[in-house]
């Protein structure tokens, strides 16, 4: 009964044609969303969340029943998250609120959204922000060339259409009797936001580096983020089929507006401590020897205390661990560390600053690894 209810209300079955219209959304997973969702519906637990009025939404709510479950599910996907992140994802998923993720570069802000998409088994729609990004690149664009071409092609059809009409008024009435074909979805070029709202099974929408965009774009996003709908003057208001799960990331290169922040859950991801970093390394570079892993984590932790231009974050640590693995290192050696330091530190001045204390750091890291 319930299943029928859900399918009946689904506004449009996804067809392969529709998928082809959205070439930017890359995924092999897209092949089976309908089946996948219906199967999931049957797993609906008895204590599921109350009716939200939009039947499709229920499908999403079956996923996480507790915060601990979120954390373990993320871990299975290879993303180690602390309680704060897990709480945030759980709340965002259940409250249908966007998440504003802040933090230094490379701590896994973008990765969080990607993992979430994998976990929920929905496509990830990504919108990279930059200065000058406007709604014609983010939401939709009319296919002007096609429109112009069609007006030329259909010129002679106009005569047939107006056949028998007397005078200007009658001709206009005749034209008005037809719907506005040129401003219909056939001439619409969908952009990421539009695609995200139209995704039949819902999606994870990642709006990356929102701080790089302009003030106007930020204001434009407000409608999308609070009501999950957009207004297109020619078509009217378009609401999301399934409210997407939205992640916004920011490096704080400029202060975001209060209105935007208020609509989001605020999550700050800091640099991890050594213990967390060891766990991350263990999942990301599992081939690594346990002792070397401890040494790496201890070494990087010492580096972060230095006054550096760009402090190494998790992604750099992982890169470095992979580098060391490639070089068949079993233990940190000052010479090897010196030669591979450029994967960890990105500025010459930083490398020089760290270079002076390198030997001490390596010794300490070894001691810490031996002690732990």
Partner 1 sequence: MQRTLEDFYHAVRAAGVPVPPSGSIAASRAVALVGYRERDLLKYALSMNLANSRHEQELVETCFDDFFRFETFGSTEAASGGEDAANDGPEAAPEVRPPRPDGDTTPDYQGDLPLAQMLMQRDRSALARAMQEAARDAGLTDIWFFTQKSLYTQQILQRMGMRELQEEIRGLAQGDCPTRIATAGALREAKDWLYEEVRDFVERQLGIYGKTAVQDLRERHLQKTRLSNIEQRDFHTMHQLVRKMARRLSTLYSRKRKRTDRGQLDFARTLRSNVAYGGVLFDTHWKQRHIDRPRVLVLCDVSGSVQAYSRFLLLFLHSLNDVLARIDSYVFTSGLAPVNAIFDRYPVAEAIDLIMAEHGFGGSDYGGMLLDLERECLAAIDHRTTVLILGDARNNQLDPRSHILQQVHQRAKRVLWLNPEPESFWNTGDSVMRNYRPYCHLARTCNTLEHLERLLDDLLKAATAS
Count the residues in the chain.
Answer: 372
Q: Is 232 in the site for partner 1 (CB under 8 A)?
A: no
The nearest distance, CB 156 to partner 1, in angstroms, is 17
Instruction: Identify the residue among 258, 305, 328, 371 touching partner 1 (CB under 8 A).
Output: 258
Q: Is 83 in the site for partner 1 (CB under 8 A)?
A: yes
How far apart are the C-alpha atoms of 61 and 6, rounded to whole Å?
Answer: 14
Q: Is 343 in the site for partner 1 (CB under 8 A)?
A: no
Q: Is 87 in the site for partner 1 (CB under 8 A)?
A: yes
Residue closer to partner 1 (CB basis): 88 or 205: 88
Q: Is 261 in the site for partner 1 (CB under 8 A)?
A: yes
Instruction: Identify the residue among 255, 286, 305, 328 touching partner 1 (CB under 8 A).
Output: 255
Residue closer to partner 1 (CB basis): 269 or 329: 269
Q: Is 147 in the site for partner 1 (CB under 8 A)?
A: yes
The nearest distance, CB 215 to partner 1, in angstroms, is 4
Nearest CA to 239 out of 202, 290, 277 is that of: 202
Instruction: Identify the residue among 26, 38, 52, 136 touching partner 1 (CB under 8 A).
Output: 136
Q: What is the 3-state secondary structure (H, E, C) of the chain?
A: CHHHHHHHHCCCCCCHHHHHHCCCCCCCHHHCHHHHHHHHHHCCCCCCCCCCCCHHHHHHHCCCCCHHHHHHHHHHCCCCCCHHHHHHHHHHHHHCCCEEEECCCCCCHHHHHHHHHHHHCCCEEEEECCCCCCHHHHCEEECHHHHHHHHHHCHHHHHHHCCCCCHHHHHHHHHHCCCCCCCCHHHEEECHHHHHHHCCCCCEEEEECHHHCCHHHHHHHHHHHHHCEEEECCCEEEECCCCCEEEEEECCCCCCCHHHHHCCEEEECCCCCHHHHHHHHHHHCCCCCHHHHHHHHHHHHHHHHCCCCCCCCHHHHHHHHHHHHHCCCCCCCHHHHHHHHHHHCCCHHHHHHHHCCHHHHHHHHHHHHHHC
Instruction: Identify the residue among 132, 355, 360, 372 touching partner 1 (CB under 8 A).
Output: 132
Instruction: Identify the residue among 25, 67, 308, 353 touching partner 1 (CB under 8 A).
Output: 67
The nearest distance, CB 318 to partner 1, in angstroms, is 24
Q: Is 170 in the site for partner 1 (CB under 8 A)?
A: no
Which of the residues 32 through 61 are near partner 1 (CB under 8 A)?
none
How far apart are the C-alpha atoms of 248 and 339, rounded to whole Å?
Answer: 37
CB 213 within 8 A of CB 173: no
Beta bridge partners of 207: 127, 248
Residues 6+ apart with CB under 8 A from 83: 67, 71
Residue closer to partner 1 (CB basis): 24 or 334: 24
Q: Is 102 in the site for partner 1 (CB under 8 A)?
A: yes
* Stretch of 17-25, 92-100, 197-205, 323-331 lying at the interface with partner 1 (CB under 8 A): 92-100
How many residues sit in the footprint of partner 1 (CB under 8 A)? Answer: 28
Q: Is 142 in the site for partner 1 (CB under 8 A)?
A: yes
How far apart are the C-alpha atoms of 329 and 202, rounded to whole Å?
Answer: 45
The nearest distance, CB 265 to partner 1, in angstroms, is 5
The nearest distance, CB 272 to partner 1, in angstroms, is 16
Residue closer to partner 1 (CB basis): 261 or 310: 261
Q: Is 144 in the site for partner 1 (CB under 8 A)?
A: yes
Residue closer to partner 1 (CB basis): 34 or 222: 222
The nearest distance, CB 64 to partner 1, in angstroms, is 10
* Stretch of 9-17, 34-42, 255-263, 314-322 lying at the interface with partner 1 (CB under 8 A): 255-263
Residues in contact with partner 1 by CB under 8 A are 67, 83-84, 87-88, 90-91, 94-95, 97, 102, 132, 136, 141-142, 144, 147-148, 214-215, 255, 258, 261-262, 265-268
């Amino acid at each position: 009964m319930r299943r029928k209810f859900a399918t009946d209300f689904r506004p449009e079955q996804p067809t392969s044609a529709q998928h082809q219209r959205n070439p930017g959304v890359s995924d092999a997973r897209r092949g089976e969303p309908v089946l996948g969702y219906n199967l999931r519906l049957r797993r609906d637990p008895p204590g599921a969340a109350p009716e939200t009025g939009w039947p499709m939404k229920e499908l999403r709510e079956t996923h996480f029943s507790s915060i601990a479950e979120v954390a373990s599910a993320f871990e299975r996907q290879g993303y180690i998250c602390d309680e704060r992140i897990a709480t945030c994802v759980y709340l965002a998923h259940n409250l249908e609120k966007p998440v504003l993720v802040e933090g230094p570069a490379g701590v896994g802000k973008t990765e969080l959204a990607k993992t979430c998409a994998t976990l929920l088994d929905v496509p990830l729609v990504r919108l990279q922000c930059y200065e000058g990004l406007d709604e014609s690149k983010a939401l939709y664009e009319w296919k002007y060339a096609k429109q112009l071409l069609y007006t030329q092609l259909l010129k002679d059809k106009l005569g047939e259409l107006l056949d028998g009409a007397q005078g200007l008024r009658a001709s206009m009435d005749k034209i008005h009797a037809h719907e506005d074909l040129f401003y219909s979805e056939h001439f619409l070029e969908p952009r990421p936001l539009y695609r995200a709202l139209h995704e039949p099974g819902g999606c994870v929408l990642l709006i990356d580096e929102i701080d790089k965009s302009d003030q106007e774009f930020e204001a434009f996003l407000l409608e999308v983020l609070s009501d999950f709908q957009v207004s297109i003057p020619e078509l009217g208001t378009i609401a999301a089929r399934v409210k997407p799960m939205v992640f916004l990331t920011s490096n704080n290169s400029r202060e975001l507006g209060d209105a935007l922040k208020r609509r989001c859950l605020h999550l700050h991801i800091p640099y991890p401590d050594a213990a967390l970093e060891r766990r991350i390394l263990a999942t990301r570079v599992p081939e690594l020897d346990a002792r070397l892993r401890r040494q790496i984590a201890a070494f990087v932790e010492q580096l972060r205390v230095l006054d550096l231009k760009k402090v190494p974050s998790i992604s750099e640590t992982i890169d470095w661990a992979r580098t060391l693995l490639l070089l068949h290192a079993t233990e940190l050696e000052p010479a090897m560390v010196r030669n591979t330091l450029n994967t960890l530190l990105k500025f010459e001045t930083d490398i020089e600053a760290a270079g002076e204390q390198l030997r001490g750091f390596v010794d300490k890291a070894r001691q810490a690894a031996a002690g732990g």
